[in-house]
Amino acid sequence: MPVQKNKDLGSEDRRVDALLELFFNIYGHEKMILKASKLGALNLLRSAKVPRQVLGLQRLILEDPTLKEPPAKKLIPGVLEELEDELATQLARRSLEKSIEQKVRRKVEERHEEYLREIKSQVVKDISGIETPHTLRKYAEIEKMYSRELSRSAMEMLRPGSIDEIIGQSKAIKSLISMLASPHPTHILLYGPPGVGKTTAARLALQEAKKIRHSLFSKQAPFVEIDGTTLRWDPREASNPLIGSVHDPIYQGARRELADVGIPEPKLGLVSEAHGGVLFIDEIGEMDLQLQSKLLKVLEDKQVYFESAYYDSTDPRVPKYIKLLFERGAPADFVLIGATTRLPEEISPALRSRCTPVFFDPLTPGDITRIIEGAAKKLKVEFDPGIPAMISSYTGEGRQAINLLVEAYSRVLYTGEGAPAPRITGRLMQEILQDNRLLPLTRICSSASGEVGKTTALGVSGFTGSVLEIEAVALPSALPGKGRLRFNDTAGTMTRDSVFVAATVIRSLTGLDLNDFDLHLNVIGGGNIDGPSAGAAIFIALLSALKKIPVKQDCVVTGEISLQGALKAVGGVVEKIYGARLAGFKKVIIPEGNCDNLIQGFPDMELITARGIPDLCSHFFSPSVLKSLFPTREG
């Protein structure tokens, strides 16, 4: 407001009154009185003199109680102008504040419920941390689930609890414990058919090794178990539960407090979890070759090294443990025990070269019987005589045998048969075997009688031996010299070669021209023979059919026949002997060259070595027949 010159004092008085009235309208009567009293302006405002009133307005509007002297009369218009400007500024500010308060009030009203929820949530967090009613309810539900746990499963209860309870694997267990308890333990590969106790033996062997004084394993040494069929190599290196991986902050998401500042987080794998103990990988032969290669690298370094483009060693925000893992690596010093049902030649040579092999034998019918008897004692169930033998004739796996017993036990409890003491009858066991669609392991049995043109050979598949029935028929051909030779095409090319070799040896031995006969050779069941080991049995069957002489049926044979009539060594002899025992044979003829490779663990079997045709025939034909075949042979 411009200063008006040559005005009388009355106009200044009115301006003072107008300013007081405006101030009163802004702050109200009570607030203005309190403020004027506080600033020492109340008495000045009540004065009849305009200069004193102006001084009071200065203290009130400028909020400055230090002002002492009233302005001179000629300066009053300019002072009033300044006070009007200041009051206008305050009025504008107050109006703006009022407008903002109204907007804030409107927003608060609009989001009142949301604000209340946020405030309540914050209060709950302040009181109970990260827990919420929802998380607490979930916690209570899980605690309730723990209280409803069932009893141990049958397999868990019947699993061997000590080394002495593992049946039929004393040699393998002795080797396993001795290697683990050594001051310089080696990595181990366990070979054997399924269900013979490889996993249980490895777990219990570690416990036994801890008890030995010179063992390197502490009482707290871990036993980390994993199935190789579940391990897969990720080419992106985003996840590797076996070796370990790095969770980058952008793509894979490290922990939030690390991701927010761009720090990668290493995740330790099972190899580090097994540090100082044993890493057991079941079905190790099923692992990816790339993953096997990475595992071999860990076995050599005994460390796992991590890399990440996001790691900055100079970043002061990197936690010490992450810096340690990136710079020194994660420790991974353990003993690897791998188990497989594959043959050694099917396992990676690089893995085989770093491990000591331990072979688990196929379970014999006697072993299955002992397993069934031990499990029945733990279940407190009785059974009719012959039940263990019945089960052993249908399965050679300890795990499956126990499952059959448990199923029969459960059926007895369900039907109430034999109450109050449960008892498994032969009729019930036969019903269980039929329900499981099981067939006898073999229908061939040893016989004291003789048959023309029939012998029994031995085969092997994996770690399991089997018997093969071979029969031959020789008929005079319709036209001399136009005879035909027939045999199973499914038997394989090696069988064809064995037949031709046998025919040549027979002609050389007897002078018979096989072209004068129609010969038919049959492998009962259509089995495929992928090696020459059935050559000896084919020779005996053809010779018997051509000469019409009976063959003893109380022994089996394996071996390759050469053109000179020698019996050559073959593979898989141990497994074949097990197969012969399973079929009820007590007498097995093997090549002399296999004698050194035999495991002396068959006290109930008669193992006979043969060098050539005369030795071989002496166990299949009667002395009179031998004399006619080999007139110069003594005895």
Active site residues: 533, 576
Contact assessment for residue 58 and residue 67, using Cβ atoms and an 8 Å cutoff: yes
State the CB neighbour count (10 A cutoff) for residue 454.
22
Largest Cα span, the chain: 169
Q: Which residues on adjacent β-strands are paired with residue 155?
A: none
The token pair at 552 is: 């003893």
Q: What contacts 297, CB < 8 A, 6 or more positions away?
A: none
Which amino acid is located at 613 in the chain? I
Q: Which residues on adjacent β-strands are paired with residue 187?
A: 355
Please work out, in degrees rounded to the nearest 5, the angle formed at the alpha carbon of residue 575 by the alpha carbons of 574 and 576.
Answer: 90
Residues 539 and 615: their CA atoms lie apart, in Å, by 13
Residue in this structure with the two tokens 């593992």, named with its chain if needed: 166
Please count the CA atoms within 13 angstroms of the CA of 375 that sit on its side-chain side: 30
| 609 φψ region: left (φ > 0), alpha (ψ -120 to 50), beta (else) | beta
Three-class SS of residue 215? coil
Exposure b/e, 91-106, CB count within 10 A at least 16 = b: eeeeeeeeeeeeeeee
The token pair at 395 is: 């399965």
The token pair at 160 is: 């061997």
Q: What contacts 6, CB < 8 A, 6 or more positions away?
A: none
Which amino acid is located at 332 in the chain? A
Q: What contacts 183, CB < 8 A, 6 or more positions away?
A: 214, 215, 216
Positive or negative, the Cα torsion across 41, 43, 46, 51? negative
Task: Return the H-helix or E-strand segment holding 81.
Answer: helix 76-110
Residues 505 and 483: their CA atoms lie apart, in Å, by 18
The token pair at 331 is: 């420790």
Residues 534 and 469: their CA atoms lie apart, in Å, by 10
- CA dihedral of 339, 344, 345, 346, whole degrees rounded to 10: -20
Three-class SS of residue 589? strand
